[in-house]
Structure 1
């Protein structure tokens, strides 16, 4: 007797896919992802799209004091927006103090950033056009920078009072040696007036309302490109209360003049950005 095989096909096991995962499970997984990853997964299917809109997913990405931030940044914030909408609104460049400050969340990390324009700073001699001028440019998020032609006493001060989320922050001055412009559609830089910055270093100082103080100094170099000069770090313990930060950049050795400098702004970033944002290490 020979072996006999059944001619009837065996039943195959039912196939399961990503679409079979419950939304609640997908949403729980998304709390461990960063916002760009969540947005990419939301395009896979209906379950992932629904999970990506869950409030608890986006609340895990928001700063712990986001309700305090909403009251500080917006005069009348829409109450119907979910946590995803709140996150998206905070990621915009939100203006404060007549447009001299901008605050936003970094889209990929959900960390708060703040920027103060040159017009929001106290600059010695800014009203005398023999020394300083505000010039329009596309290279600033404020569409203008302060340009120094020449001066003996260089001093730029500023302060910010804001409910920063708890954490460590770094303060940077965004500086450009030389005056950039466009000629026949190409970027050119005039360094004719750049002088004095290699004679003596500039001094940075930083104070906070809870007694922190930092000072440092460095020479300015590298004409023709924007550089971020690190002024110091500070730590915020309580994000529900406002922290006042004062900062200063000076070169007040009157034995020589200095000039040819563009001042764009002062930026306050989470200190961890120095490890992941290459442009912050450009000075």
Structure 2
């Protein structure tokens, strides 16, 4: 977009002609600019705000950011911040929601994707119920720079593998997908380089892991998947759920189990459970992060 433009007029013959006087973008009324930029995504709005005073002022208009906020943003803000700020403009509210906001004693983070406005959530390993987590012969919580929570659960060896999680949250209307973020092998850094230890990795290729999902809307899905390539983080799809009412609270329960006691399994890092808008599955697949060999079976109770 240039720094100036020439105004077009229609002459007596009905043909466009260029006026002798030129106007700059700064001459546009802020309300006019705001009406245009509200159709752009937030990063582009912020870039245009650097052009001049008119675009900068328009970029703060409440009605521009009202269209970017989730429909139930007031409920979200109250849940995340504990109050609804009265003096903050809509752009400030959007900025706060785009940050990873922690709640439930630091075991959960929720944020709004700055490009799409979709609500995302991450539940840490410490926010999940893990069978045997208190016995250090089997599980350990270890520090990690590769986790949003700077900590993950590491399984050395166990026969009975079971992980469950639950959250109740006012998700905006839409369809969401649930993933377990897992890593075979223990990753670390040595001399500034990422390395991983496969010492305890075993048992995951014998029988598949079962992922299950339940919601308060009587939705249920299940799928089985063999854990694949070691040394990389993957998101394993546990199922999808739909939210129809923006003002309701949806309860989501998930589980991951491998309870065939004919063999032991170990060497697994469990970081978190992720809840994304379903459209994000294409992004994960494109980035090579999505890993599940079989599709989920979705049922209504």
Runs of 4+ aligned residues of structure 1 deviating over 3 Å after TM superposition are 276-282
Aligned pairs for 1:12-91 (under 5 A) are 13-91=20-98
Matched, 1:192 2:189: no
Where does structure 2 lack aligned partners over 5 or more consecutive residues?
1-18, 292-301
Distance 2:122 2:282 in 1: 19
Contact 2:208 2:224 in 1 (8 A): yes
Whichever structure has more strand as a proportion of its residues is 2
Distance 1:157 1:279 in 2: 27
Shift of 1:281: 4.2
Residues 77-113 of structure 1, C-alpha deviations (whole Å, 9 max, x = no match): 4321000000001011111100000000011111100
Shift of 1:145: 0.3
Residues 26-53 of structure 1, C-alpha deviations (whole Å, 9 max, x = no match): 1111111100010000000000000000
Aligned pairs for 1:1-283 (under 5 A) are 13-277=20-284, 278-279=286-287, 281-283=289-291
- Normalised TM-score (structure 2): 0.88
State the structure with more CA Rg. 1
Residues 106-161 of structure 1, C-alpha deviations (whole Å, 9 max, x = no match): 11111100110000000001001110000001110100000000000101000110
Contact 1:274 1:280 in 2 (8 A): no
Matched with 1:6 is none
Contact 2:233 2:289 in 1 (8 A): no
Distance 2:265 2:159 in 1: 7
Distance 2:173 2:103 in 1: 21
Distance 1:279 1:149 in 2: 29
SS of 1:215 mapped into structure 2: strand
Where does structure 1 lack aligned partners over 5 or more consecutive residues?
1-11
Residues 188-246 of structure 1, C-alpha deviations (whole Å, 9 max, x = no match): 10011111110000001000011000000110011101000000000000121100000
Distance 2:195 2:181 in 1: 19
Distance 1:217 1:239 in 2: 31
Distance 2:61 2:36 in 1: 12
Distance 1:117 1:49 in 2: 39
Distance 2:281 2:41 in 1: 19
SS of 2:202 mapped into structure 1: coil
Distance 2:239 2:67 in 1: 29
- Pairs aligned (count): 273
Distance 1:58 1:175 in 2: 36
SS of 1:114 mapped into structure 2: strand
